Amino acid sequence: MPNSCAVSTVRVRPFQESPERRSGAELMAANPYRPWPARITSITDLTEHEKLFEFRLVDDRIREAFHHAPGQFVELSIFGVGEAPISISSSPTKHGFIELCIRRAGKFTEALHKMQCGDIVGIRGPFGRGFPIDDMRGHDVLLVAGGLGIAPLRSLINNVHDERSDFGKVTIVYGSRTPSDVMFRNQFEMWKHRKDFELHLTVDYPDSTWDGEVGVVTKPFEHLEVDPGNTFGAVCGPPVMYRFVIEEMSKKGIAYDHIYCSFERHMKCGMGKCGHCQIGHQYVCIDGPVFNYWEAKNIQGSM
């Protein structure tokens, strides 16, 4: 039973803007649960199940303050449906827009796939620790994606592309189940003739049109030449793939702490609180989602 003090109840308006004009960073920090309106500016069909959405944050202060690293993720909101963590597919070099590659896999993504250009969603973030892009500069990079793993890795791939002269040899291995599952095929087709990208597209089940490689994602490793002391590896894909790819990278002599992988968990808050993404003593949302293999080996239950 409430006593007499109820009259002195404090009222907190979590979203009230203070009269003075605040910076985007201050606005975001004031309530990190608050999604900011973003407009869909482009939708591209990638496969039967995946679309690439491009968003632009509506508030210019938030847009200016939004800086991400490859490998980070955002929490995407559709009010009334919910919120989901989605890794960013665009490069930080493309400032002002956020691209998210989204597979239709449940209630939330189903609702998103029905939306159109101009519709408003909510975005908060970016969250997590991405790939160590600055450490990678000046070195060779070996980037390996399987299936939907191309979504987070594309951010790194495009970043490396846009700042190509900062990196040594660039090798990209991308494995899909069938040719119709290959995403961003146009982009990779365009790079096929470039001498500064070594590109290996492979599928498990080819059809008559397929002119790429055939076999699982580790197949191209048979003839890859790697300078182990000077190479950073990055892996994104389904959990079963990691062990095999990491094994191949290790065989090539790349050190454990130079092999980076992105972990998939359901990061509900993105801020190291809700607990859903915990593995062992780590939170994928703040300690990851990108871990190097040495770190991952030290997390109970990670592999």
Partner 1 sequence: MLYRVIEASEIPALISAFMESHEVVAPVKKGDVYAFDVISSPDEVVLDYDTTIASPKKYFLPPAETLMTFDAQGNQLTDYTAEITPRVIFGAHACDINALNRLDVVYKDAPYADPYYIARRQATLIVGISCMPTETCFCHLWSSDEARFGYDLFLQDIGGKYLVSISSNDAANILESACNPREATDAERIEFRHATRRRQAAFNPEIPKIQEVAMLMDAFHDDPFWDELGGKCLSCTACSSVCPTCFCFDIRDVRDPDGTTGRRERVWDACTAPQFALVAGGHNFRSDPATRVRHRMYHKLNGFLATHDRMLCVGCGRCVKACKANINPIEVLKFFERKGAADAE
Sites of contact with partner 1 (CB under 8 A): 1-6, 8-16, 29-35, 37, 77-84, 103, 105-106, 108-109, 119-122, 239, 264-266, 268-269, 271-276, 278-282, 286, 300-301
> Which lies closer to partner 1 via its Cβ, residue 8 or residue 208?
8
Shortest separation between residue 76's beta carbon and partner 1, angstroms: 11
Q: In terms of CB distance, is 170 or 267 closer to partner 1?
A: 267
Assigned token pair, 127 = 């969250």
From the CB of 272, what's the least distance to partner 1, in Å?
Answer: 6
Torsional class of 269: left (φ above 0), alpha (ψ -120 to 50), beta (otherwise) = alpha
Residue nearer to partner 1 on the CB measure, 175 or 233:
175
CA 86/CA 154 separation, integer angstroms: 13
Q: For residue 81, report the phi and psi dihedrals to the nearest 5 degrees.
A: -105, -45
What is the token pair recorded at 10?
């404090």
To the nearest whole angstrom, how small is the minimum distance from the Cβ of residue 273 to partner 1?
6
- Name the residue nearer to partner 1 (CB basis): 249 or 290: 290
Closest to partner 1 by CB, 215 or 275 = 275
Handedness of CA 98, 104, 109, 114 (dihedral sign): positive
Of residues 86 and 199, the one with the C-beta less far from partner 1: 86
| DSSP reduced 3-state for 137 | coil
Strands in 170-176's sheet, in edge-to-edge order, are 213-214, 198-203, 170-176, 140-146, 231-236, 259-262, 290-292
Q: Give the Cα separation of 98 and 95 in Å (integer).
A: 8
Query: Looking at beta carbons only, is 199 or 296 nearer to partner 1?
Result: 296
Q: Cβ of residue 51: shortest distance to partner 1, in angstroms?
A: 15
Q: Which of 101, 118, 119, 99 is nearest to 109 (CA)?
A: 101
Q: How far apart are CA 98 and CA 90, in angstroms?
A: 6
Q: How far is the CB of 288 from partner 1 (least distance, A)?
A: 13
Structure tokens at 37: 């309106």
Write down the least CB distance from residue 150 to partner 1, Å. Answer: 15
CB of 82 to partner 1, least distance (A): 5
The residue among 37, 76, 27 whose CA lies nearest residue 59 is 37
